[in-house]
Chains A and B, each alone.
Chain A
C-alpha cells in the first residue's frame, strides 16, 4: 500500500487561517466571550484588575471542571442530569465516611472516588441496557441522589450538613491538593484552575488524538453506524459517564476541603449550568460535534457574567436573564457559523 505524501490538490483553495478558525466549534463562544469581556470591562470599574480576573477564573473553573466531561458526554450524544447532585454526593460520602469510621480523610476520599465512579457506571449501564433516553435515566438518578444526600446526612449527623472534619488526620494534605491557593506575584490562584486546565488538555487529547475520541464522535454522530463498523458503543458510553463521575469527585472534594462541611441540599440545578456551558461552547445538543476547549470558553463566560454583575454593582438577580440571553445568542451564532463554514467548502 502506498503512503506517499499526496500532493496538494489544485482544486483546493488554500484555506486561510481565518476560514479554518471559522470552521471550529468554539468560534461562537470565543466571539461571545470577547463581547462579554469588553462589556464588563466598560461597565464594571474593577473588572480589569488582576485580583478580579483571578476571582472570575476561579468561578469559571468550578463550573469548567464539570463542563469538560459533560461536553464529552454531549458529543457522545447523551446528557447527565445527575451531574450536579453527584458532586454533593461525592463530598458527603468522603466527609461522612471519614468522620464515622474515624479514619484518615484520605480513606474517605478514596472510598468516595470508588462510589462516585460506580454511580457513573450505573448511569451508563442503565442507559445502554434499557436503551431508554439518558434524560429519563439520569433524571431518575438525579432524584434518587437528591433524596439519598438529604436522607443519609440527616440519619447520620442529625442535621442537614456534615460535621467538620478539619482537625482530622490528612485534612491538610487533602486540602493542599483540592482547595489550596497559589500566590504568583500579587495574584492568588485557586488550585481548581490547574485541575480545570489539566482536564481540558487531557480531554482535548482524548477527543482529537485517540481511538476513544474517534469513538466518542462516532457514537454521538451515528451510533448504529459506529456499531456496524465494530466500535464498542456500550463501553464508550459507560466510559463517558464515568468521566463525568470522576470530575464530580474532583469538584466534590474541592467543595468539602474548602469549607470543611458540606450542605446536603447543594448541587441541585448545577447540572443545567454544566450543560449550558457545553452548549455555549459549541457542542451540538444532538451529539457528534463539539470540543472540550469550547466548554471551557462557555464556563469562562459563566464566570465573567456572574462576577461581572457583582463588580458592576448590579442586582445579581439579573444573572439568570443574562445567562438565558447568552445561551440563545451563542447557539444561534453557532448554528449560523456552522452553516456558513459548511457552505464555503
Chain B
C-alpha cells in the first residue's frame, strides 16, 4: 500500500470502499487515489470488479461501505448527472455515442448550446459544428467531416471523440473504461496518446484496463483488482512492467499455465512418430 502524503487534495479518493449486490460481494475494501495531472490505472481480469468500481465513481451505483471523497469532500453520488456536475466524466466501453447521429450532434448530446428565446429557441448549429471541429483539432484529431454519422468512424476515432467531449465539458476527472480493449496496436497507441494529452491538460484520469503494457506506458499509479478485492496498489517507481504483468496474470497461476502450455506444445511433434 502506498500512502503518499500529497500537498494537493486528491481529485477522487476511495478508501476501503465495498459494494454488495444482495449477498454477493462485488467489491470489497478497495482504495484508490486520483490526482490532477496523473493517470491511475485499475487493472484486473474479467469479473474482478472493475465495472462496479466505475459505476460507483460515475454515480450509476452507490457504495455500501467505506468513504468516497471528491476533492476532499465525502460524497455519495446518486445519479450520473451529479457526477458530471462535479467534474467526473466517464467514457464507457460502448462510448455512449449514438451511431446514426452526426459527430457534432453526438459531441453536444445532453448539453446542447442554444440561441434565441421562446418558441424560436434553437440549437446553435454553426457554433456546435465549429466547436466540435476545433476541439477535436486541439486534441490532434483532424476529422474529415463533422456531419458524418459517428458510427462511420473507426473505433479509435470514436474513443477520441468521446474523450475530447469530456475534456470540452470541463471534466476534472476522466474515467476511461477499457479504451483500448477492442483496438489494434496502432489505434491503441493513438488513444493512449490522447489519454496522455488529457493528463497534460491537468485532468486526473482513471484508466481501466486488463492490458498491463498499456497501463505501464502511461500510468502513474496502479491498483490491481482480483475477484472483487484489491490485491495490490503501487506507484510507477515501485513496480516494473514485468512484475505488473506477472501480478496481473495471477503470479503463480501464470507459471502453472506456462508449464501446461509447454507440455501441450510437445504433443503435436510426437504425433507423426505415432502414425
CA distance A230 to B135 in the complex (A): 20
Q: Are A288 and B148 interface neighbours, CB within 8 A?
A: no
Contact B131 A288 (CB under 8 A): no
Cα A226 to Cα B109 in complex, Å, equals 7
Which of B5-13, B93-101, B180-188, B249-257 forms part of the interface with chain A?
Answer: B93-101
- Give the dominant DSSP class at A's interface: loop
Residue in contact with B94 in the complex, picked from A5, A221, A224, CB distance below 8 Å: A224
Q: Which of A92-100, A186-194, A206-214 contacts B (4 or more CB under 8 A)?
A: A206-214
**B144 x A214 contact (CB < 8 A):** no
Answer whether A5 and B130 are a contact pair too, CB < 8 Å, given A230-B81, A230-B84, A342-B149.
yes
* Nearest CB of A to B209, in Å: 20
Whether B145 pairs with A12 at a CB distance below 8 angstroms is yes
Residues of B within 8 A of A227 (CB): 80
| Complex contact B96–A229 (CB within 8 A) | yes
* List of A residues within 8 angstroms of B90 by Cβ: 228
Name the A residues within 8 Å of B131 (CB-CB): 1, 3
Contact, CB under 8 Å: B100 / A3: no
A243 to chain B, nearest CB (A): 16
Contact residues in A for B133 (Cβ distance below 8 Å): 6
Say whether, besides A12-B145, A225-B98, A214 and B109 are in contact (CB < 8 Å).
yes
Contact of A288 with B98 in the complex, beta carbons under 8 Å? yes
Contact B134 A229 (CB under 8 A): no
Please report the C-alpha to C-alpha distance between residue A230 and residue B58 in the assembled complex, in whole angstroms: 12
Quick check: is B65 within 8 A (CB to CB) of the other chain? no
Bound together, the chains give a CA A228 to CA B123 distance in angstroms of 21
Contact of A209 among B92, B125, B145 (CB under 8 A): B125
Contact of B123 among A209, A230, A288 (CB under 8 A): A209
Interface residues, chain B, with chain A CB atoms under 8 Å away = 80-81, 84, 90, 92, 94-101, 105, 108-112, 114, 121-123, 125, 127, 130-131, 133-135, 144-145, 148-149, 152, 168
8 nearest CB pairs, A to B: A221-B98, A229-B110, A230-B110, A225-B96, A228-B96, A222-B98, A209-B122, A6-B133
Beyond contacts A4-B130, A211-B123, A342-B149: 12 other A-B pairs, Cβ-Cβ < 8 A, are A1-B134, A1-B135, A3-B130, A3-B131, A6-B134, A209-B125, A217-B98, A229-B110, A229-B111, A230-B81, A230-B111, A288-B99
